[in-house]
Amino acid sequence: MLELRHRGSCPGPRETESLPHREGEAAGGDHETESTSDKETDIDDRYGDLDSRTDSDIPEIPPSSDRTPEILKKALSGLSSRWKNWWIRGILTLTMISLFFLIIYMGSFMLMLLVLGIQVKCFHEIITIGYRVYHSYDLPWFRTLSWYFLLCVNYFFYGETVADYFATFVQREEQLQFLIRYHRFISFALYLAGFCMFVLSLVKKHYRLQFYMFAWTHVTLLITVTQSHLVIQNLFEGMIWFLVPISSVICNDITAYLFGFFFGRTPLIKLSPKKTWEGFIGGFFSTVVFGFIAAYVLSKYQYFVCPVEYRSDVNSFVTECEPSELFQLQTYSLPPFLKAVLRQERVSLYPFQIHSIALSTFASLIGPFGGFFASGFKRAFKIKDFANTIPGHGGIMDRFDCQYLMATFVHVYITSFIRGPNPSKVLQQLLVLQPEQQLNIYKTLKTHLIEKGILQPALKV
Amino acid sequence: MTELRQRVAHEPDAPPEDKESESEAKVDGETASDSESRAESAPLPVSADDTPEVLNRALSNLSSRWKNWWVRGILTLAMIAFFFIIIYLGPMVLMIIVMCVQIKCFHEIITIGYNVYHSYDLPWFRTLSWYFLLCVNYFFYGETVTDYFFTLVQREEPLRILSKYHRFISFTLYLIGFCMFVLSLVKKHYRLQFYMFGWTHVTLLIVVTQSHLVIHNLFEGMIWFIVPISCVICNDIMAYMFGFFFGRTPLIKLSPKKTWEGFIGGFFATVVFGLLLSYVMSGYRCFVCPVEYNNDTNSFTVDCEPSDLFRLQEYNIPGVMQSVIGWKTVRMYPFQIHSIALSTFASLIGPFGGFFASGFKRAFKIKDFANTIPGHGGIMDRFDCQYLMATFVNVYIASFIRGPNPSKLIQQFLTLRPDQQLHIFNTLRSHLIDKGMLTSTTEDK
């Protein structure tokens, strides 16, 4: 939803803050009364004042150019501006959804690259906003350092999670093995180098600005990079854990808009005046139904349901396995009131569909808070959209603001309720132990397996 | 000497020039910064002096410069004595102290944020900041500490659930706080509220993660906690001493009182100190053994067979040093070699944490983080160099020292599916046979 920009009527009322402090005076041009020898504090004061003033005092960022392609403009030139906008949004929505399907078809590796690309673009968008807000273009080193930190944190996360899946690939190459085994140390050393560069790059007049940009970079990294790695981990659990949550959020967006468009009356929250309770509740129910159906359709295919594995012989990702119990049809007896409604005694469902209800509920009830957060953020910094990448929709961040909470939730859900430990990781750790410890563990495991009947005592294979 | 923050002291008739030049030179906050220039400068309004009355009276005869030196010295010794007492009291008390330090540091930084952004009247914000602190602490306790308390946790049903689903519960609690934040956004103060939200999160990232890494190191063995912290403290003091006696060339514009002589002298002194300290400590089990929670006695025990790191070994001295020292071999603990790495880090990179904190204080025009310790400033002032050290030690241990925990591996193994268990078992078996630890005929023995 495009949000209206929050505009103060005039950049006047500094008195609302009632600041007798130096920052307020400095920005008002009173800093001539201060000693001329402390020019170094002027710039900080001016920007410091930006923080303390009310939102209406903050200068707005001029909108960037319109990126709608010429073809669309010509085709729609006949319509009024309102319908034109509606059509552009509609066409772009369909384009994005088709692109999504195409990449799913192309497989998990392409999906991983897509997630990575989106992460980099979101990071870029948020950092650019920070630059503009703080007029930071002339700060030394800052662009370099931000991208450098992005690289370090990505390397760290790849070493923590993704390398396990590529274990067989990594074992073959010596350098890769070294990079993965000591990834914590190497990424920490790289991060420290960046940290020291930051400290050495502190310039006398711009301390506060530089600290702000440092913090801005780190918070952005925390949001975008961690979530994108959680998404990739969900993906490796099985593509269905990636598709169903994302589709639920998209569906909630679209159906809430449609319900709001046709039935919307009561506003939902002051922050986003276009959201309505009717849209919210209608979106909730339709998303749950949609998630239920999507889960049913996708659970049948091994391609979606199996954990993604890297096979070194084939040198690619394969998704082939015996589907776990979650994805095998089971019959459930209906509770009495549903029996009366549906007139059936039993129903056969995939257990995953019950999980999908939880996921869809989260997507509809809590996901929008991610959108409200992003709306508040845009109002706070007086921007209309995060960027202008997608005509009619804004930036990549605009499309993905609701997804972030969802990705974390799905990951937490999987680790708490679904997934046990990763077998290849357990094996890897076993192989690193001391030989005596390995022997002890071997004996313990053997006793356990024989007890459970998994291993026959006489069988020596 | 505690002095008021620059902003609040602004008076149009006071000589602003002096104040400005003072503040740039003074807001370093490292141990070496002394009050000499302060005492000679124009008089600033003084905030509440936290120095106890007894000290004030005892030192009332001395000039203000020496008085400050004595106050700092006495407080330094008091803090070091306190440190020793806590070590004596054991790991549990250490853990609690680390928690308290964490909470106090968090409080100090958040208070600075409030003051910078005049945020006292924002709804909910104090509550939300402390609430987030609680959530993140619960998450980290669930991730790391409960492994050590495993037996205790398994006995009590509520604890078991809290531990098993800690990720989900802490995420839910965090989400509640997040939604409260979104609902609390007030029309005129969006930007302020977002700033405070960002400030809280960065503070949590710094303070809480590091304190949990410290506790993690502690559980590895108290020596991994004591030696790094002592090295940082030693480097602080030594660099100050060397700078005091020999200091000429300034080190960095950010902290004009640091000198190259102090830096390099402190480096060598710290390495030697680290070697000696680790030699002394490696002899005692209570420092060297991993901390374990003993189910029967319901307390922490440090009793074990010391690992190879803590057993004396002979090393051949390289030829170049043989002529100097006159020995062929030397008996050292392998840990002492690691301690060289730790001391080097403490002396070379640790000060960057201090520079970072100095830059931060200059950026926000504050002299000290708080006024908790007379003569030294706030808790954060004392611990700014420690943060990088704690992370480094943890990464060092995880990368080079500690292997995976065997009992944890067995636990994880037992939760796998039978076919996965069999697969792992067979792989381990062939690996052991390859290594010659097992032979196919005798594996039952």
Residue percentage of chain A with pLDDT more than 70: 74
User: Which residue of A134, A207, A225, A406 is the best one to mutate when testing the B interface, meaning the one whose CB has the most B CBs within 10 A?
Assistant: A207
* Cβ neighbours for A24, distance < 8 A, ≥ 6 positions apart: A14, A17, A49, A52, A53
Contact B140, B208 (CB under 8 A): yes
Q: Report chain A's C-alpha Rg in angstroms.
A: 27
Q: Which residue of A has its CA nearest to B357?
A: A199
Q: Distance from B54 to chain A by nearest Cα, in Å?
A: 37
Which residues on B lie below 8 Å from A417 (Cβ)? 168
pLDDT tens column, A389-404? 777 677 777 778 788 8
What is the rounded distance in angstroms from the CA atom of residue B165 to the CA atom of residue B22? Answer: 53
CB contact under 8 A, B359 and A373: no
Q: Which residue of B has its CA nearest to A209?
A: B363
CB contact under 8 A, B191 and A380: yes
CB contact under 8 A, A58 and B432: no
- In degrees and rounded to multiples of 5, residue B297 shows phi and psi of -85, -5
- In degrees and rounded to multiples of 5, residue A20 shows phi and psi of -85, 10
What is the rounded distance in angstroms from the CA atom of residue A239 to the CA atom of residue A4? Answer: 37
Q: What is the pTM of this model?
A: 0.76
Per-residue model confidence (pLDDT) at position B26: 36
Joined together, the tokens standing for residue A65 give 């150019």
Across A63-72, A272-281, A291-300, A385-394, least confident range: A63-72
What is the rounded distance in angstroms from the CA atom of residue B322 to the CA atom of residue B316? Answer: 9
Q: Coil, strand, or helix at residue B300?
A: strand
Q: Distance from A440 to chain B by nearest Cα, in Å?
A: 9
How far does CA B329 lie from the centroid of its chain?
36
CB contact under 8 A, B363 and A271: no
Instruction: Tell me the pLDDT band of A97, cut-offs 50, 70 and 90.
Output: confident
Give burial (CB, 10 Å; 0-12/13-18/19+) of B63.
exposed
Q: Which residue of B has its CA nearest to A376?
A: B190
Tell me the β-bridge partners of B255: B252
Contact A270, A263 (CB under 8 A): no
Q: Coil, strand, or helix at residue A379?
A: helix
Contact B185, A271 (CB under 8 A): yes
Cβ-nearest to B409 among A44, A426, A434: A426
Which residues on A lie below 8 Å from B20 (Cβ)? 35, 37-38, 40-41
Q: Distance from B151 to chain A by nearest Cα, in Å?
A: 19
Q: Which residue of A has its CA nearest to B193?
A: A380
CB contact under 8 A, B191 and A433: no
Above 0.85 for ipTM, yes or no?
Answer: no
The one-digit pLDDT tens for each residue of chain B (445 residues) are: 333 333 333 333 333 333 333 333 333 333 333 333 333 333 323 344 555 666 666 666 666 777 777 888 888 888 888 888 888 888 888 888 889 989 988 988 888 887 777 655 676 778 889 999 999 999 988 877 776 666 666 667 777 777 778 888 999 999 999 988 888 888 888 888 888 888 899 889 888 988 888 888 888 888 898 999 999 989 988 988 888 888 888 888 888 888 898 899 999 999 999 999 999 888 887 888 877 776 666 677 777 777 777 888 887 777 777 777 777 777 888 888 899 999 999 999 888 888 888 888 888 888 877 777 776 777 777 787 888 898 899 889 888 886 666 666 776 777 677 777 777 788 778 777 877 777 765 554 4
